[in-house]
Structures are given as structure tokens and as C-alpha cells.
Amino acid sequence: MIELPSSVVRQWIDETDGKWFTARDIDNDLNITSQKGKAIRRALLHRFIKEGILERDSYQQGKYRLLTHDLNEIDFKGADPTDFFSINMPFSLEDYVLLFPKTIACIAGSPDTGKTAFLLNVIKLNMDKPYEVYYFTSELSAEELHLRLSKFDDVDINNWNFHAIERSSNLIGVIQPNALNIIDYLEFASGTEFYQVADIFRQIVDKLDRGICWVALQKKRNAELGRGAEFGLEKPRLYLSMDNGQLKIIKAKNWAIEGENPNGKKFSFSLMNGAKFVNIQER
């Protein structure tokens, strides 16, 4: 490419909708192959940064993002502080924690500790609510999901009411703004840094309206936090850690009962048939 109109690059940037991109992404999509074309592209990126159109990633060199200047004013006076997202949770967590619309809740667990069972129980407890439930799985085939659901002896397989979607990447685009979204589990592309987890969570929150999103994360055994470590704690309003027959509330931003702080509360359990949590003890 010999000539590279600034309007072409600007249109490409506008269509990124605030997502991080690299110069290589522009070159690939716009077929910029010549040294002259790349020099023009570099000059344009530099100009857009000076003009406040773009910002650089302060953590990772060579990444850029469109700066948006829209003011989304919050109508806090007209808001109803009792307008919670109606959800029931395993261990009756709704008695301890409140979840509002446009919220992320996170459960981090090491392999085979019950994350999927927890999330399937969330579906079971809420599939008859006046909102739709979307379950995005990166692991379960139709046959395996059927097997897992058939282990719930109190629900006929034909009575499960939710959307099961096979998905392991590009999840932001399929999040349903006004539904109960469940991601089991959030996989990260090779090379994803811990600090980028916070940006992925931010993109999920930005996609939500009246709905919420449960996200499962893998973690190392006996560690409290999942992938992203402390960076993964920033956006979720509820963060749970599951390991060795124990569930712990790591972060609960909104308490169900004023003055009763549920942070640090632990629940001991055993998992029957991969479906039912039993022998629950609180402390």
C-alpha cells in the first residue's frame, strides 16, 4: 500500500469500540505491507495519540485503545437502591450478599473442586425466574452436559430451561445484557498477562445492562485467587474461592444484612454425585 488515507485508519480504529489492538492488527486488516504504508500508519497512530483519540497501554508496549469521550451520566436520584438482581445461590449466599444489575460474580477453583456443579446449581435455582439464563461452556460437549444434568435427581432432563452455548473465546460479543450469564470457565489466550484480566472483566461489565454475569476461573490448588490474582478482584462484586471441600467468600461488596460482614465466611461441604452440595457447615 503506497497511500494510506487517515480516514481509513480512523474508521478502523472507531470500529474497535475501545478494545485494545496492536499496529499489526491494523496492518493485517488493511493489508498494509509496504514500508511506506507502515511509516504512514506509525505517523497516524502518533498523531491520534497527541490529539487524544488514542491511548497507549501503560503496561504492554505496542498496544493502543480508542479513547471515548461520551458522558454517561448516572441517574442516582431516580435509582432504586432496593432494586437487586433477584437470584438464588448455592449455600443460600443471597442471605449474605446482594447482587445488583450490571454485576460480575466470580468463583475461582482448582480443577475438580466443584465449580461447574456450583454454576449448574445456580442455573437450577434460577431457571424459572423472569429472565433468560445463558450458560457458556468451554469444556462440556452436549453428551457430557446431558450426563451432568441427569445427576440432579430432582429435575427431569427435559425440564431444564436455559441456553447452553459452546464457547471458549470472544465471549464479550455474546454476553446477553439483560440475562443471567454464566461463563464456565474463562479461558485466556496464550500470553495474556494477569493485569489484562481486569480489562476483560471491565468489557463484560460494559456489555451488561440489567443482567449479571457469573465467571468461573481456574486457580492453583490451595491458592485463594484465580487467574489474574489481585487484578481479578477489581470488578467482581462477589468473589468466591473453592478448594478441598470448602467455599470461602473472598470479597462481598454489598452485604445482605447491615453490620454483618460476610467477607471471610467459610462453608465446608461434600459434593454428592457431582451435583448436590451436602454436609454444609458455616463458620
Instruction: Name the most confidently modeled range: 69-83, 87-101, 166-180, 192-206.
Output: 87-101
pLDDT of 38 strictly over 70? yes
Q: What is the mean pLDDT of the chain?
A: 88
pLDDT of 2 strictly over 60? no
Q: Strand pairing of 103-109 and 212-218?
A: parallel
State residue 108's pLDDT score.
Answer: 93
What gap in Å lies between CA 151 and CA 132, rounded to an integer?
23
Beta strands in the chain (DSSP E): 21-22, 54-56, 63-66, 103-109, 133-137, 163-166, 180-184, 212-218, 238-243, 246-252, 266-272, 276-282
Domain boundaries, the chain: 6-66, 90-282
State residue 46's pLDDT score.
Answer: 93
Residue 132 banded pLDDT, cuts 50, 70, 90 = very high
State residue 175's pLDDT score.
Answer: 92
pLDDT of 172 strictly over 60? yes
Distance of CA 73 to the CA centre of its chain: 24
What 3-state class would DSSP assign to 12? Answer: helix
Q: Which CATH code of 3.30.70.260, 3.40.50.10490, 3.40.50.300, 3.40.50.970 fits the domain covering 90-282?
A: 3.40.50.300
What gap in Å lies between CA 170 and CA 172, rounded to an integer?
6
**Burial code of 2-17, b = ≥16 C-beta within 10 A, e = fewer?**
eebeeebbeeebeeee
3-state helix, strand, coil in the chain (%, to 5): 30, 25, 45
- Using one digit for the tens of pLDDT, what is the confidence trace for 184-220? 988 776 666 667 788 888 889 989 999 999 999 988 8
Interacting residues of 90 by C-beta distance below 8 A, sequence separation 6+ = 118, 121, 122, 125, 277
State residue 81's pLDDT score.
Answer: 80
Architecture of domain 6-66: Orthogonal Bundle (1.10)
What gap in Å lies between CA 90 and CA 124, rounded to an integer?
10
The amino acid sitting at 91 is F
Average pLDDT over residues 34-45: 92
What gap in Å lies between CA 268 and CA 277, rounded to an integer?
9
Residue 62 banded pLDDT, cuts 50, 70, 90 = confident
